[in-house]
Amino acid sequence: MRITGRFVRAALAAITVLPTLISALSDVDKNTLSRQYASTVTKKNIIRFFGGSSTHLEVLFLDATDGLNANNLTWQWPDKSPGSDFQAFTRGVAFAGNNDDILLQGGEGSTTIMENLVVFNNNNWRQAPAIDKPAAAAFMTANLNPLDNSAYYFGGRLLNNHQLNVTATSLNTFRKFDIIKGRWLIIEPATNGIERPGRTAHTSNLINNQVFIMGGVSGFKNASRAGPSADFASVLVYDISTNTAVSVTTLGDIPPARNSYSTALGLDGHSIVIYGGILVGGKDEDKAAPSDVYVLDTCSLTWSKQSTKGSAPGSLNSHNAININNYMVLALGKTNDKDYNFNIAILDMAQWKWVSTFTETEDTIQSGSCKFELPSINATTFSPMNYDDGVMINPLTPVKKKVDSKGFGIGFGILAVVLIAVGAYFYVKRVRNKKSRTLNPRWMRSAPAHTNSGYSNDRDYPLFVYNKELDADNINNPNVPRTQTAFATNDVRTYTASDHEQWEQELNSDAANSNGVASSRNSDIWNRMRGLNDASVISDEEVQRNRTNNGRLVDL
Ligand SMILES: *[C@@H]1O[C@H](CO)[C@@H](O)[C@H](O)[C@H]1NC(C)=O
Ligand SMILES: *[C@@H]1O[C@H](CO)[C@@H](O)[C@H](O)[C@H]1NC(C)=O
Ligand SMILES: *[C@@H]1O[C@H](CO)[C@@H](O)[C@H](O)[C@H]1NC(C)=O
Ligand SMILES: *[C@@H]1O[C@H](CO)[C@@H](O)[C@H](O)[C@H]1NC(C)=O
């Protein structure tokens, strides 16, 4: 920490730095701070932001040596032009290099030198030695793997004269850059043989020698198919140790599809935390994502919605998420489609609470203790998505339980989900209308079941308890046997706990509406009910079909 302090003072002495109090931002400051899709690197508690503006190259930084205070924020940047070889850019990448070097690649709008690779060190810029450099691109992702000192790249779009080549499709290539040797390599991972779509504006996180790529817009070589946004029902996993890359379906409480969200790492060393973005592909297309936090456990590719305390920052998109100590810090980006964000938000991930300040900066992310086992590339269990034909079924997917047939078995799962969802809708509506807090949506009778069905004997089970990891019939499930702890509070998450807590909090804030349009709370239930089972069980189209013109669910 001392060293960091000296480092900053040295930097301050070397060049002019403009300290800026958030409350007193001039228009010039605001122009400099207006960034979206910037890249960030944290070294020695200095958080730096690169790119994200087509007019300002200044490398913004926040000094978190003594923590950060959202109410007394000092944005700083060196007031020194590095010369015409270096130009403002957007949608590039940046990652930590050797020693105090930070390596970065300009995306759109930069220069040929920056498109290759440049070093930023102590506020000086220089060209990086880079052997076998690939064609210039933007929108790609890069993650440094400390285990082999290489940055792993995926996807992006080719550039032509520093702008996007609009006729080229998204790249589907994996590459790596060895930061010690300064050499590029194209990686050709083993795959299941189905064309891997390219991706643009996706996210990637490297955990325990595996890269998890999700979201973004996919692109097939077949140009007539380019374009669909990828949702969170699958993740492309590249396993570095086995050099294998396959897309796999996710389980659990899958977040609504979105773009321009940001990711940080969870404290357990094996999860990815997402926040913000703009919804895509549903009836809420183009609306800001709600202030929800979702967590992906990368060991099983299972999503859960994390309830949080404190006051969430509201809508944010194209922002950055930074890990420091127990905290996820959100900065820059936009608060809606036109206003830039000059504040920071801080989520304490140990307590899952939004806070305004912290002082501790030691790194607390545990080293990962588990790892996702990819399905065999020879397996034939596919679950194609419109954005990726090669998605394979997650080996941890529960085996469907057999239900007594008598013409009732197969349809029961779907029917139950529909009936429970409809029941939940009217139930919550009734609770809302009565303004009553005595009823508990956690516990309710299920749909009337056939007397011979496997579900008929005990219908008072919790509505949303559904834990795919606990499926004891699945021979691939590493967690079996664990029936004893099936409903223990420790370690096991059910829909009930977090959702109920959130409903409680939101019960009075979400006013009843008279026009028959589902409230955001009810839409949320719908969205998550759809996530309960395979994403395909109730498609968006099916939901739309079940709505009347004014958006109300039809009375079944
Ligand atoms: C705000 O931070 C500065 C240092 O960055 C400090 O000198 C000042 O006292 C702080 N103000 C408040 C109100 O905490
Ligand atoms: C743009 O990309 C297409 C497809 O890859 C390629 O054929 C074309 O030459 C590129 N245009 C330029 C000007 O680089
Ligand atoms: C391209 O995609 C379209 C739509 O899926 C399909 O009909 C067509 O056969 C594909 N063309 C090739 C060359 O694969
Ligand atoms: C997949 O099949 C090929 C040939 O059938 C075989 O050589 C390879 O070992 C198999 N790979 C796995 C991971 O089972």
Interval 4-33: pLDDT, tens: 322 333 344 345 566 666 667 888 899 999
Which atom of ligand 4 is found nearest the CA of 378? 1
pTM of the model: 0.74
Which atom of ligand 3 is found nearest the CA of 223? 1
Rounded to whole angstroms, the Cα distance separating 380 from 92 reads 37
Nearest CA to ligand 2 atom 3: 168
- Residue 549 CB: number of other CB atoms within 10 A? 6
Asked whether 152 and 174 are in contact (CB, 8 A), the reply is yes
CA of 376 to the centre of ligand 4 (A): 8
What pLDDT does residue 364 have?
Answer: 77
CA of 70 to the centre of ligand 1 (A): 11
**Regarding predicted confidence, which is higher, 25 or 464?**
25
Interval 366-410: pLDDT, tens: 887 799 999 999 998 999 999 999 999 999 999 876 554 444 444
CA of 222 to the centre of ligand 3 (A): 6
What mean pLDDT is predicted for residues 81-108? 93
What pLDDT does residue 263 have?
Answer: 98
CA of 385 to the centre of ligand 3 (A): 15
What pLDDT does residue 420 have?
Answer: 61
What mean pLDDT is predicted for residues 215-221? 88
What pLDDT does residue 79 have?
Answer: 79
CA of 235 to the centre of ligand 3 (A): 24
Q: Is the CB of 225 under 6 A from ligand 3?
A: yes
Interval 285-333: pLDDT, tens: 999 999 999 999 999 999 999 999 999 999 999 999 999 999 999 999 9
Which helix (H) or strand (E) segment is 428 a member of?
helix 409-434
What mean pLDDT is predicted for residues 201-216? 96
Interval 502-556: pLDDT, tens: 555 554 444 444 454 555 555 555 555 454 444 333 344 444 444 434 433 333 2
What pLDDT does residue 470 have?
Answer: 43
Number of the ligand closest to the Cα of 227: 3
What pLDDT does residue 99 have?
Answer: 87
Interval 224-265: pLDDT, tens: 776 789 999 999 999 999 999 999 999 999 999 999 999 999
Comparing CA positions, the residue from 44, 13, 18, 43 lying closest to residue 32 is 18
What pLDDT does residue 457 have?
Answer: 33
What pLDDT does residue 451 have?
Answer: 36
Q: Is the pLDDT of residue 358 over 60?
A: yes
Q: Is the pLDDT of residue 100 over 60?
A: yes
pLDDT band at 281 (very low <50, low <70, confident <90, very high): confident
What percentage of the chain exceeds 70 in pLDDT? 68
3-state secondary structure 376-387: CCCCCCECCECC
In 3-state terms, what secondary structure has residue 271?
strand
What pLDDT does residue 426 have?
Answer: 61
Number of the ligand closest to the Cα of 221: 3
What pLDDT does residue 421 have?
Answer: 63
Which atom of ligand 1 is found nearest the CA of 74? 5
CA of 193 to the centre of ligand 2 (A): 26
Q: Is the CB of 357 under 6 A from ligand 1?
A: no
What pLDDT does residue 368 have?
Answer: 76
Number of the ligand closest to the Cα of 157: 2
Q: Among 79-93, 268-282, 294-308, whose mean pLDDT is lowest?
A: 79-93
Q: Output the average pLDDT for the chain.
A: 78
Rounded to whole angstroms, the Cα distance separating 154 from 200 reads 9
What mean pLDDT is predicted for residues 447-462? 35
CA of 419 to the centre of ligand 4 (A): 44
Q: Is the CB of 224 under 6 A from ligand 3?
A: yes
What pLDDT does residue 288 have?
Answer: 96
Nearest CA to ligand 2 atom 14: 160
What pLDDT does residue 417 have?
Answer: 57
Nearest CA to ligand 4 atom 2: 378
- Residue 209 CB: number of other CB atoms within 10 A? 17
Token pair listed for 288:
């800001």
Comparing CA positions, the residue from 333, 161, 197, 314 lying closest to residue 262 is 333
Pocket mutation for ligand 2, best pick of 160, 163, 220 (most atoms within 8 Å of C-beta): 160
Nearest CA to ligand 1 atom 6: 72
Nearest CA to ligand 2 atom 5: 168
CA of 72 to the centre of ligand 1 (A): 6
Which residues have CB under 6 Å of ligand 4?
A: 376-378
Q: Is the pLDDT of residue 189 over 60?
A: yes
Q: Is the CB of 72 under 6 A from ligand 1?
A: yes
pLDDT band at 51 (very low <50, low <70, confident <90, very high): very high
CA of 496 to the centre of ligand 1 (A): 43
Q: Is the CB of 84 under 6 A from ligand 2?
A: no
Asked whether 224 and 275 are in contact (CB, 8 A), the reply is no
Q: Is the CB of 167 under 6 A from ligand 2?
A: yes
Nearest CA to ligand 1 atom 8: 72
Number of the ligand closest to the Cα of 379: 4
From residue 235, alpha-carbon distances to 248, 257, 298, 301, 376 in Å are 6, 12, 10, 8, 16
Q: Is the CB of 451 under 6 A from ligand 2?
A: no
What pLDDT does residue 429 have?
Answer: 60
Which atom of ligand 1 is found nearest the CA of 19? 5
CA of 123 to the centre of ligand 3 (A): 50
DSSP 488-519: -SSS---HHHHHHHHHHHHTTTS---SS-PPP
Asked whether 32 and 342 are in contact (CB, 8 A), the reply is no
Q: Is the CB of 12 under 6 A from ligand 2?
A: no
Number of the ligand closest to the Cα of 165: 2
What pLDDT does residue 541 have?
Answer: 44
Pocket mutation for ligand 1, best pick of 71, 72, 75, 357 (most atoms within 8 Å of C-beta): 72
Nearest CA to ligand 3 atom 11: 222
Rounded to whole angstroms, the Cα distance separating 292 from 129 reads 42
Interval 428-452: pLDDT, tens: 566 555 444 433 333 333 333 333 3
Q: In the CATH scheme, what is the homologous superfamily, with its name and number, of domain 2-358?
A: Kelch-type beta propeller (2.120.10.80)
What pLDDT does residue 282 have?
Answer: 83
What pLDDT does residue 450 have?
Answer: 39
**Regarding predicted confidence, which is higher, 219 or 521?**
219
Q: Among 87-91, 483-487, 547-551, whose mean pLDDT is lowest?
A: 483-487
CA of 135 to the centre of ligand 3 (A): 27
